A and B are shown apart, each in its own frame.
Chain A
Amino acid sequence: MLLVEGLTKRFPGRPQAAVDSVDLEVRDGEILGLVGLNGAGKTTTIRIAAGLALPTSGRVLVDGWDIVDEKQRASERIAWVPELFPFDSAARALPLMVYFAGFHGMRRAEARAHCAELLVRLGLEGEEHRHLRDYSQGMKKRFSLACAMISDPTNLLLDEILNGLDPEGIAFVRNWALGSRRSGKAVLLSSHQLAELEAIADRVAFVHKGRMLKTIDRAELAKAGTSSIRLVIRNLDAAALEYLKTVGDAQWNETTVWVSRPTVESHVVNAELVRRGYEVTECRIESTSLEAYFLELIGTAR
């Protein structure tokens, strides 16, 4: 569990606090979405929580350990995946991971086996000894996730990690985050892709100009508006439409279908269509509801 209490961060020469008295709780087995405009303080909050920056006041507890005063114990239990690729591009994947693993007390042979297995799990089998500069954007993100999993931490800080990913990459990260939640981890996910957050977050926290505006749960999220599932089905037919009408209000145009107010999650719809032999080339959630809610919130805040 990650607990942020009264967190404030002021940078020298800037009158306004980058983070101002923020309180936050990410429970075990929960994904907390963090939403805010650029410069709202999301990344600063996450960097402080990761132990990379000092708070001006307030504290961050990671499973009860203070990230400042008990850094080593707290860091054993937390992982950070930033938006930008933070690795030496001249390094090779596996040796770099083995190096990181050494900080968690793993012996060399043990670390090699563990990290190689992680790379396989993240879909980087056969790429272990390539230079990181030769990795694609998606591979880099998978490598970042693999590095975050080295110590199997109970808390994950994911900072705008969906940016720059193609649909396949987004789906991978989404499933990875959901898997982490299922295994009982506390996940803090900041993102501008509000539809994605709406789909996977248990709660969403809104920050604006360094201050926490509001935190809402899924029930409140549902009340805030409706989302729709956008599907592109190459062999769309009447039977498929018949099924889709049972899970929401379906509207279509040639091979594209929008299912608004869905009663089941998008991956369930996708799985059922595939099971029935349909060729689904795109499945994503479209929503203006969270966005509208957020804009209304910050409008009030202004």
Chain B
Amino acid sequence: MNPYLHELLSRLRSRSVWVVLVVLGVAVALGVSTIEGDVPSVQINGVGFDYYADDAYHFEIWAVDVSGHPVSGVQVTLSIAPQPNFTTFPPPPPPPVVFNTTVTTDSSGFIEFVVPVAPGAYAATVGASYAAVPRASMTGLLANSFYFGPVAVGEVNLFESPVNVVALGDYLDQDQLLVVWAGANGTAPIDDSVEACAAVVSSFAEPEPSNCTGLTDVTSEGPLSGFLTLVPYPSLSMPAVGMFESLVVFVEIVNATGGVVAINDLQGPSGPIPAGVTTPAYLVTGPGPGLVMDLATTFGLFVPLAAFALAYWGYARPRVSGTVDMVLVRPVTRRGLFLVRYASVALLMGVVTTAAYLLLDLAAATALGQPIPPGFLLALIGITTAGSIAFAGLIFLLAHLFRSAGPIIGIGTTLLLLFSLFWSLVQSLPVLVEGPVFNSAQLLNFGARSQLFAPPQLPSAVVGILTLQSSYLEGGNRLVYQASGVTPAVVAAVAVAWIVLPFALTLWCVARRD
């Protein structure tokens, strides 16, 4: 048998393969728990209001997902009982339920309950279930008990602001805003119009903008089409936001005479952020990072760890301990041995990573009834393998830069931890440097670009690039990456550079020989 083929087969049969399997086994176990953990992050929000008319409470709900898309098929149960009287002791038994009805949302996510009771104070409970996704969690109105207070005839008891806008972050990963507007007695004021505006303003701007007036980047407006109106999101390119600038977005309801009747500020404070406040307040917080992103993050740590173990045990340790010399006196060249051992690491990482992701895909399909989309899966497998090979390449290189195991293990471990677990610290460096005035848009921009400097971050970057945050399987924010110039081609090029550079340097060291 050819000595190099013999070496390759020996590597694939070596004990370090078991180490890799154990490490990735732990990663798969964590991945499965991630899948379980992500189930509750399937969020369906409810927005709505109630009013009293025609001797009945009218209770209206829109079920929308975290991106503001209407969700049909949500079974919502409204249960109403008179407010208990707590003025006596012992308290009387709870009053009987006077209304208990379950209704399923229609294609627009809409439900209307009509509760024929006399005006008064009631305790109401909203329960919901969503058959399409087992164990989906409900937030907002769909998962609350609340006080269903007396509302005067002709008035509206709004649970939230008249203008409810469902949107995420500075750079919305959707094309349109969902605006929920309620007029008196549940009538949609169709004479009014909705206007969304966005502008980049200096953090030190005075006076601080508080509505669209005076802002030049008004890009979206149109008539209210009913309680629920979708309007295009005012787009701004990411590079337009400077270091000491903020992106502000306002949604205004303007009546027929031009008066502004309601304003909702998506951005929160647009001026200098007070000391101690680092995160602008958003109207709607997003879901968890998403299943695919969670997997990318978990594997971003464990797959390079496995590659580290393989590269260390298969190359670095034999080299620094001198045991590789007993192989090098055999009929092999030093370069050939390096290439074969490098190839064995790459091959093993590719095979084992693929197997691990396929297992997780199976788990996701079983637990959630929805497998990871094939495109994501392929991209994840590819970039995770590439990232791990790149990291292994660093260990190969370290083996030539140091003559003892200590620095290799120390530097390798430090890099691995920094690149994976502690990379968020690196990503928050601008805040540490600039203080709380550093705006979040800039931070997102920096965070996206910083991922290119750490191989274990590449899977997360790919997920971020490929996904919109419109499905519970996803966790990306495509517009952030687009605005930051972090495109698939850039990530691919960086991954190749991460692989090629340490490889070429190591090959150069091998050619020099000791």
Q: Chain A residues near B327 (CB, 8 Å)?
A: 100, 103
Q: Does B329 contact A (CB under 8 A)?
A: yes
| B7, B321, B329: the one within 8 Å of A75 (CB) | B329
Given that A102-B3, A103-B7 are contacting pairs, would A78 and B329 also be in contact in the complex, using a CB cutoff of 8 Å? yes
Surface stretch bound by B, among A46-54, A182-190, A195-203, A286-294: A46-54
The answer to whether B323 and A75 touch across the interface, beta carbons within 8 angstroms, is no
Residue of B nearest to A88 (CB): B323
Report the minimum CB–CB distance from B307 to chain A (whole Å): 21
| Min CB–CB distance B4 → chain A (angstroms) | 9
The closest CB in chain B to the CB of A84 belongs to B322
Q: In which size bucket is the chain A interface?
A: 20 to 34
CB distance from B491 to the nearest CB of A (A): 38
CA distance A75 to B334 in the complex (A): 12
Say whether A73 contacts B331, CB under 8 Å.
Answer: yes
Given A100-B327, A103-B3, are A54 and B513 neighbors across the interface (CB < 8 Å)? yes
Interchain nearest-CB distance for B11 vs A (Å): 10
B332 CB contacts on chain A under 8 angstroms: 71-72, 75, 103
Over the window 43-70 of chain B, the binary record of Cβ atoms lying under 8 Å from chain A Cβ atoms (1 yes, 0 no) is 0000000000000000000000000000
A140 to chain B minimum Cβ distance, whole angstroms, is 13
**Among candidates A51, A84, A99, A102, residue contacting B328 with C-beta atoms closer than 8 Å:** A51
Chain B CB within 10 Å, residue with most, of A87, A99, A103, A107? A103
Complex alpha-carbon distance, A102 and B332, angstroms? 11
B118 at the interface (CB under 8 A from A): no
Contact status A52-B328, CB under 8 Å: yes
Q: Mark A8-38, 1 if CB is under 8 A from B, else 0.
A: 0000000000000000000000000000000
The interface residues of chain A lying within 8 Å CB-to-CB of B10 are: 99, 102
Q: Interface 1/0s, chain A 266-295, versus B by CB < 8 A?
A: 000000000000000000000000000000
Cβ–Cβ contact B325 & A52, under 8 A:
yes
Chain A, 30-70, CB within 8 A of any chain B CB? 50-54
- Minimum Cβ distance to chain A for residue B400 (Å): 14
Q: How far is the CB of B316 from chain A (nearest CB, A)?
A: 13
A105 CB within 8 Å of chain B: yes
Give the nearest-CB partner of A75 in chain B: B331
With A and B bound together, what is the CA distance between A65 and B349 in angstroms? 38
Determine if A82 is an interface residue (Cβ-Cβ < 8 Å): yes
Could you say which residues of chain B place their CB within 8 Å of the CB of A53?
A: 513-514
- Please, which residues of chain A bring their CB within 8 A of the CB of B325? 52, 80, 82, 86
The minimal Cβ–Cβ distance linking A210 to chain B, given in whole angstroms, is 17
Q: How far is the CB of B91 from chain A (nearest CB, A)?
A: 72
Given contacts A50-B329, A88-B318, contact A102 B1 (CB under 8 A): yes
- In the assembled complex, A76 has its CB within 8 A of some CB on chain B: yes
Nearest CB of A to B218, in Å: 67
Q: Is B413 an interface residue (CB 8 A)?
A: no
- Least CB separation from B337: chain A residue: A103
A147: Cβ under 8 A from any B Cβ: yes
Interface string of A190-216 (1 = CB under 8 A from B): 000000000000000000000000000
A250 at the interface (CB under 8 A from B): no
By a CB distance below 8 angstroms, the chain A residues around B1 are: 102, 105, 107
Within 8 Å of chain B (Cβ to Cβ): is A104? yes
CB distance from A45 to the nearest CB of B (A): 14
Question: Is there an interface contact between B3 and A100, defined as CB atoms closer than 8 Å?
Answer: no
A51 and B323 form a contact (CB under 8 A): no
A100 vs B327: C-alpha distance in the bound complex, in angstroms?
7
Q: In the complex, A52→B6 CA distance in Å?
A: 20
CB of B144 closer than 8 Å to a CB of A: no
Query: How distant is the Cα of A99 from the Cα of B323 in the complex, in angstroms?
Result: 13
Does A115 count as interface, using CB distance less than 8 angstroms? Answer: no
Q: How far is the CA of A71 from the CA of B335 in the complex (A)?
A: 11
Q: Does B145 reach chain A (CB closer than 8 Å)?
A: no
Taking a contact as CB atoms under 8 Å apart, the answer to whether B323 and A87 are in contact is yes
Q: How far is the CA of A49 from the CA of B333 in the complex (A)?
A: 14
Are A100 and B323 in contact, with the CB atoms below 8 A? no
C-alpha spacing A75/B329, complex, angstroms: 6
* Assembled-state Cα–Cα distance A47/B323 (Å): 14
B323 contacts A86, CB within 8 Å?
yes
Q: Does chain B have a CB within 8 A of A229?
A: no
Residues of the B chain whose Cβ atoms lie less than 8 Å from the Cβ of A103: 3, 6-7, 327, 330-332
Interface assignment of A2: CB less than 8 Å from any CB of chain B:
no
Q: Which residue of B lies closest to A76 (CB)?
A: B331
Instruction: Name the A residues within 8 Å of B131 (CB-CB).
Output: none
B residues in contact with A107, CB < 8 Å:
1
Docked pose: A75 CA to B318 CA in angstroms: 20
B275 at the interface (CB under 8 A from A): no
Which residues of A lie under 8 Å from residue B330 when comparing CB positions? 75, 100, 103-104
Q: Check B331–A72 contact: CB distance below 8 A.
A: yes
B489 within 8 A of A: no
Given A72-B333, A73-B331, A75-B332, check contact A86 B3 (CB 8 Å). no
Minimal beta-carbon separation of A90 from chain B (angstroms)? 9
Alpha-carbon distance A80/B331, docked complex (angstroms): 12
A116 at the interface (CB under 8 A from B): no
Name the residue of chain B whose CB is nearest to the CB of A91.
B323
Contacts of A75 in B (CB 8 A): 329-332
Residues from chain B with a CB closer than 8 A to the CB of A82 are: 325
Most chain B CB neighbours (cut-off 10 Å) among A50, A52, A87: A52
- Contact at A147–B326, with CB atoms within 8 Å? yes
Q: In the bound complex, how far is the Cα of B329 from the Cα of A99, in angstroms?
A: 13
At the interface, yes or no: A177 with Cβ under 8 Å from chain B? no
Q: In whole angstroms, how far apart are the Cα atoms of A207 and B6 in the complex?
A: 39
A257 within 8 A of B: no
Please indicate the chain B residues that have their CB under 8 angstroms from the CB of A259 in the complex: none
Verify B513–A88 contact, CB threshold 8 A. Answer: no
Report B483-514 residues with CB < 8 Å from chain A CB: 512-514
Q: With A88-B318, A105-B3 as given contacts, are A100 and B326 in contact (CB-CB < 8 Å)?
A: yes
Kindly state the separation between the CA atoms of A71 and B6 in the bound complex, as whole angstroms: 17
A residues with CB within 8 A of B: 50-54, 71-73, 75-76, 78-80, 82, 84, 86-88, 99-100, 102-105, 107, 147
Write 11 A-B pairs (CB below 8 A) sorted by A numbering: A52-B325, A52-B329, A72-B333, A75-B332, A80-B325, A86-B322, A88-B323, A102-B7, A103-B3, A103-B7, A103-B330
Closest 6 CB pairs of A and B: A103-B330, A102-B6, A72-B331, A75-B331, A103-B3, A54-B513
Knowing that A52-B514, A75-B331 touch, tell me 16 more A-B residue pairs with CB under 8 angstroms: A51-B328, A52-B325, A52-B328, A54-B513, A71-B333, A72-B333, A80-B325, A84-B322, A88-B318, A88-B323, A99-B10, A100-B327, A102-B6, A103-B6, A103-B7, A103-B327
